[in-house]
Structure 1
Amino acid sequence: MLGLEYFTFADKWSPLFLAFMLVLTAVYFLIVGPLSSRFEGSAPVSAGRKVLFVSGMAAYYLAQGGPIELLGHMMFSFHMISMALSYLVAVPLIILGIPVWLWRAFDRVNPFRKLGFLARPIVSAVVFNGLFSFYHIPVVHDFVMLNFTVHRIYFLILFITSMLMWWAILNPIPEKDKSSGLMKMAYIFLNMVLLTPACALIIFSSHPMYATFSDPAVWAKAMGYCVSDTSTLLTSFSGPQDFGYLDPLIDQRVGGIIMKFFQEIIFASMLAYVFFHWYKRENKEDDPLPGDIPPGNLNQA
């Protein structure tokens, strides 16, 4: 399917990265399970929260180590699916999957406290979307794809800045969450706007922009990031077009549309989530619940 049959199990599933993600997931279950009593204020973690964490880890693994990662080196549309899963799907699921008491424990020993300004809403939005857009400038993208150490470092930085961006929206520590619902909704709109120019550039380009998806020699070198042996690639295949189901330019445009679609759907869902919780909190604060005793009648109770 899509040419995956021509690659080995290791090429498609990245066993070392899979093992790493499984170890991290096992550590999570140890901490929220048998070791939870060692953390101040710990409480049982719901099955739903655990499902969120595992789903986030699975999405990140598929995007950065599974078949989607391999396909993302052959088709730009899958590259954008990988980026969307990594930074717009996996990250918020992981944040929501970690219990509040564990976030509080981390906050008490946070070694990056002095860099807290990076978590400010506008700063984190500009930094993440700026780095994401900068990465998709053709010369930058091709350089990163061909230099594997730079690739790993850049993607790690994108993951961290994505965490900061989502933290401003989802902040799971109530006492640290200073933003109102209206501020969060404005912040979400800002994120939607900031990514639009990069997507528009990709969608409306009149020619294929990335050599890694159009030049066979450059593509073969870039494939070294996820394929153990690239020496026979150009003898077996003429280039990435052998795997693509679309013309390179159409594939590029589809990739830009996919990213914008993912962004719109996810941030629209976040708008609904933030509005619901803001509305719920405002009504809880303004309207006494049935059976509440007014402050003036406390002495009579």
Structure 2
Amino acid sequence: MRRLRLWPLAAGLLLLAGLWLGPLAEMARRAFSPHMILHLGVMIVAAPLIVIGGLRLFPGGLAPRYRYLGAVAASVYDFAVVWGWHLPALHEAAARMNSAFTVQQLSFLTAGLALWWICLAGRDAKSDAAGALAMLFASMHMAMLGVLLVLAPTLIYAPQFCLGAFGLDPLPDQQLGGGLMALFGALPYAVGGAYLASRLALQEA
């Protein structure tokens, strides 16, 4: 029974292996929408599964005095990782160099793990409040970056790193990637933040 409770951890690790060892990783270095699918798969699917499984294995939460500091730190780190790796210079460096790509992917994973752990490890009302704010901030900045990519009238990245995928030309492919971020990147955080806010409201009632 205990092993069955750890299925999210196993699923998250298997998903990471599939994302990083499968064809998507190489596609992500040549076209933008595969990059975004890989990015979102790591941060909003694999990371929360690993956190849920990890909390079942090690249920201890963050010390109360660190709950707000931890939420702020995780939010700032998440923002810096997401926006930083989508700056043209860093995005193109990850496409060119194996070392930069490895650092990029590990930073996506650690940012996702930190944010989801801060938000899901809470054991009291103040922890839920801190988690809700962190989730809603992540939702807003992911949506904002996604919309900017969708509305960009020209390619943001060098053509050799934005070749297009799934039958799309480079610019529509970039716009598809932005749309995926705006919708599927922001929605899980918005839902998570709303859930924590509703739980907080019930505790305060």
Provide TM-score, normalisation by structure 1: 0.58
Match of 2:175 among 225, 230, 253: 253
CA distance in 1, matches of 2:93, 2:29: 14
2:132 alignment counterpart: 185
What is the one-letter code of the residue matched to 1:193? M
CA deviation vs aligned residue, 1:91-148 (integer Å, no higher than 9, x gap): 01111012445354xx9xxxxxxxx899711221111111211111112211122121
Going from structure 1 to structure 2, the CA distance change for 1:134 and 1:117 (only over 3 Å counts) comes to farther
Going from structure 1 to structure 2, the CA distance change for 1:264 and 1:117 (only over 3 Å counts) comes to closer
What is the one-letter code of the residue matched to 2:132? M
CA distance in 2, matches of 1:171, 1:258: 27
CA distance in 2, matches of 1:45, 1:276: 29
Q: Quick check: 1:262 aligned with 2:203?
A: no
Count of matched residue positions in the alignment of Structure 1 and Structure 2 = 202
Uncovered stretches (5+) of structure 1, i.e. residues with no partner: 1-43, 108-115, 220-238, 287-301
Match of 1:93 among 43, 49, 53: 49
- 1:121-200 mapped onto 2 (5 Å cutoff): 121-171=71-121, 174=123, 179-200=126-147
Structure 1 stretch displaced more, 116-125 or 192-201: 116-125
CA distance in 1, matches of 2:199, 2:86: 35
Match of 1:57 among 2, 9, 13: 13
RMSD: 3.0
Q: Larger radius of gyration, structure 1 or 2? A: 1
Match of 2:151 among 193, 196, 204: 204
Match of 1:120, SS?
helix
Going from structure 1 to structure 2, the CA distance change for 1:122 and 1:99 (only over 3 Å counts) comes to closer
Q: Percent identity?
A: 20
CA contact (8 A) 2:39 2:108 kept: no
Match of 2:152, SS?
coil
What is the one-letter code of the residue matched to 1:131? V
CA contact (8 A) 1:56 1:89 kept: yes
Uncovered stretches (5+) of structure 2, i.e. residues with no partner: none
Match of 1:208, SS?
coil
Match of 1:70 among 26, 30, 38: 26
Q: Which has the higher contact order (CA 8 A, sep 6+)?
A: 2
Provide TM-score, normalisation by structure 2: 0.82
Going from structure 1 to structure 2, the CA distance change for 1:200 and 1:185 (only over 3 Å counts) comes to same
